[in-house]
Structure 1
Amino acid sequence: MSDTPSAHKNLIFSGMQPTNTLHLGNYLGALRNWVKLQEQMPCIYCVVDMHAITADAGYAKPKELQAAIREVTAAYIAAGVDPARSILFKQSDVAAHAELAWVFNCVARLGWMDRMTQFKEKSGKHKERASVGLYTYPTLMAADILVYKATHVPVGEDQKQHLELTRDIAQKFNNDYSAPDFFPQPEPLILGTATRVMSLRDGAKKMSKSDESDMSRINLTDDADAIAAKIRKARTDPNPLPDDEKGLEGRPEAENLINIYAALSDESKASIITRYAGQQFSGFKNDLAEVAVAKLTPIAAKMRELLADPAEIDRILEKGAARADEIAAPVIKEVKALVGF
């Protein structure tokens, strides 16, 4: 699997933005699954730095962006993504992403883009102030996937709509250019427990890199003391832990902590509930803190080790980009021939 995979076989593509520090939600919802998927089929994992400049947080901050790219790369590797087995690179190093995105801008329809809920959420009340890049983000995401003819994409619930658009773009391109089997219809992979990890301060909100409160999330760079403190201070309700899953209804904070415990310990939610039924949260939180520290502090330590040698991270990304380009270049060449460029 260390050889460059063909663009025509089963192939996984996924990526994350280098904006702010990755957290427990990124690990449980994505990274941990990426590591397992390496055993099943060839994988391409991208640091999507071109997406990072679509919002104000990543715009006109070149030094911060470069540091964030290295940090996210370090998080991938520390979590278990193997650059010798999977292709690991940054998006802007492979020009075919941008070239195919332009073609897809011309294939996609305004009506399709207007239905994208994430643009509405991110642009807020002042849509006219949002960047054009934020609006066309889904066509670049489609290009990221299809320039490798990827067949499977591990996605969170919030990205499912973008993947459906990717499938629509692939189908329309194939129809428009009389190439019925050129691009595949990539399938979503939604895996594992706790794919939606919620905020430690508000069980109704997803754990987020952009939340103002650092206490709302466990960062992958947090040390043991920080992890333990955040879990002990996580919001709960005054009632003891329930006897069964029905007892979690209307208790989002309690459910979130149980989900996190189950995911980190690779146990079922039901077994955690049975073990702690009727107990107070103080003892449960102490045990959860121990599990979280044991699982996450080695990742933070490995990240620190990797970040101490930024030149080596850059070399890993450059090597990965060369492998990615071997797959993308023939695809974009065929696209240009089909379009008539």
Structure 2
Amino acid sequence: MSRVLGKLASMQSRSVLQGGKIRSGLARRSLSTDQTTQRHPRTIFSGIQPSGIPHLGNYLGALSHWVELQKTAVPGDRLFFSVVDLHALTVQRKKDAPSVKDDAETMTAALLAIGLDPSRCTIFCQSHVAEHLHLAWLLSCITSMGRLNRMTTWKGKLVDARNANSEAEIDESHLNVGLFTYPVLQAADILLYRATHVPVGEDQRQHIELCRDIAQILNARLQESLRPDDYERSAFRSPELLITSYKRILSLRDPNQKMSKSSPDLKSRILLTDSTDVIYQKIRGAVTDSQREITFSPEARPGVSNLLTILAGCTGENVFELAEKFGNAGHGELKKTVMEAVEETMKGPRSEYLRLLKDRTYIQQVLRDGAREARKTAQQTMREITDTLQI
């Protein structure tokens, strides 16, 4: 046992919050050094819905990737990270939920707490830049119903919102127009800033492909009305996907479902605000199985595999190597190590998040400054598009 613990001791996350910045083992392999040298400047856009306090799955997925993108940015790169509150309106909110405005501010606090720096990236609220809706309407007028009918991700969103067991329980009677046209607004979000790269999960691949198609349609319109030299300057690049390499984090209580804020079981997820004791209780109660040996097999052993995935996300280690090092140490030893790694990873951001929530004035100022900066690019893009469309 001591041999196992000795090997694992060096794997613990080194997350340390210093002056509002976080240094972490998270996502250290998501972007290599080679990718940040000898390349053209990039414009990166990504958004997150303000749907409550972020959980561990959010943190180990998109959010840690954003921090890594900021860390590896080179001179000339532009990073736009948006709290997409308009997208949050596409599913029905609970009656006792905070207002969208409050949720947007708390999500902004979380982005700052994990290490996003307003001096190195633009953090803003989607609804604060009116050009998002303006462009979305124009794009909806050149996007066919056939293209939108091929988008199926709305079913997954309704599964989460309604806490359904599967997509089989969802049908079109639950679908509103806003959710159906969600991919068009997402395309507007991306094209408005002429993003060259978009970090998203694999489930958003369909939407980015649609965005690329819409960019080609816009370029065809531009080519018809502009001189060749002007077209070269004004044409939209097809945005490239930056798929995060992390596996999704699953529910602690039902490892056949992803970790979600909409689950009625509070013990199914670890929130950014959870105390040390609460984290320990939730992981201690995580579903595993009856086999003592620790192996990584998501299909056959989803509970144990989920714990290994969480540990790997916190430490930067390979899940198969972790499983091998644990061997026959048992579930108790695995859970203990996961508890310690999660607490080490979350304690810095948690402390900063709770501090920031007491300073709403600062959060609101960050959003105002971010919207002002985002608007500069958005308004320029809209001038070019409206001139081309002659409206």
Gap change, CA 1:81 and 1:201, over 3 Å in 2: same
> Which stretches in structure 2 are left out of the alignment for 5+ residues?
1-39, 159-168, 225-230
Indicate conservation of the 8 Å contact 2:308/2:319, yes or no: yes
Gap change, CA 1:136 and 1:79, over 3 Å in 2: same
Alignment of 1:137-216 (within 5 A): 137-178=182-223, 182-194=235-247, 196-216=248-268
Secondary structure of 2:99's match?
Answer: helix
* Residues 135-193 of structure 1, C-alpha deviations (whole Å, 9 max, x = no match): 11110000001100001111112211111111111112212442676211111111333
Q: Does 1:256 align with 2:256?
A: no
Larger Rg: 2
Letter of the aligned partner of 1:23 in structure 2?
Answer: H
Secondary structure of 1:14's match?
Answer: strand
Indicate conservation of the 8 Å contact 1:193/1:262, yes or no: no
* Residues 201-244 of structure 1, C-alpha deviations (whole Å, 9 max, x = no match): 2222111121221111111111111111111111101112335x
TM-score by length of 1: 0.91
**Where does residue 293 of structure 2 map in the other structure?**
241
C-alpha separation in 2, matches of 1:315 and 1:260: 34
- Which of 82, 95, 98 in structure 1 is aligned with 2:133? 98
**Where does residue 4 of structure 1 map in the other structure?**
none
Q: Does 1:15 align with 2:68?
A: no
Moved more, 90-99 or 211-220: 211-220
Gap change, CA 1:234 and 1:171, over 3 Å in 2: same
Q: CA deviation at 1:122?
A: 3.8
Alignment of 1:261-280 (within 5 A): 261-280=311-330
What is the root-mean-square deviation in Å for CA atoms of aligned residues?
2.0
**Where does residue 111 of structure 1 map in the other structure?**
146
Indicate conservation of the 8 Å contact 2:294/2:330, yes or no: no
C-alpha separation in 1, matches of 2:293 and 2:56: 22
C-alpha separation in 2, matches of 1:267 and 1:62: 37
C-alpha separation in 2, matches of 1:201 and 1:278: 23
Indicate conservation of the 8 Å contact 2:298/2:306, yes or no: no
C-alpha separation in 2, matches of 1:285 and 1:259: 12
**Where does residue 133 of structure 1 map in the other structure?**
178
Indicate conservation of the 8 Å contact 1:97/1:147, yes or no: yes
**Where does residue 24 of structure 2 map in the other structure?**
none
Alignment of 1:78-93 (within 5 A): 78-93=113-128
C-alpha separation in 2, matches of 1:89 and 1:61: 25
C-alpha separation in 2, matches of 1:12 and 1:315: 22
Q: Does 1:33 align with 2:62?
A: no
Secondary structure of 1:133's match?
Answer: helix
Letter of the aligned partner of 1:312 in structure 2?
Answer: Y
Indicate conservation of the 8 Å contact 1:241/1:278, yes or no: yes
Indicate conservation of the 8 Å contact 1:33/1:192, yes or no: no
Secondary structure of 1:175's match?
Answer: helix
**Where does residue 222 of structure 1 map in the other structure?**
274
Paired residues, number:
330
Q: CA deviation at 1:335?
A: 0.5
Indicate conservation of the 8 Å contact 1:222/1:297, yes or no: no
Q: Does 1:73 align with 2:104?
A: no
% identical equivalent positions? 40
Indicate conservation of the 8 Å contact 2:67/2:116, yes or no: yes
Secondary structure of 2:141's match?
Answer: helix
Moved more, 248-257 or 97-106: 248-257
Secondary structure of 2:323's match?
Answer: helix
Moved more, 117-126 or 164-173: 117-126
Gap change, CA 1:55 and 1:278, over 3 Å in 2: same
Letter of the aligned partner of 1:150 in structure 2?
Answer: A
Indicate conservation of the 8 Å contact 2:197/2:242, yes or no: yes
Q: CA deviation at 1:108?
A: 1.1
**Where does residue 331 of structure 1 map in the other structure?**
381
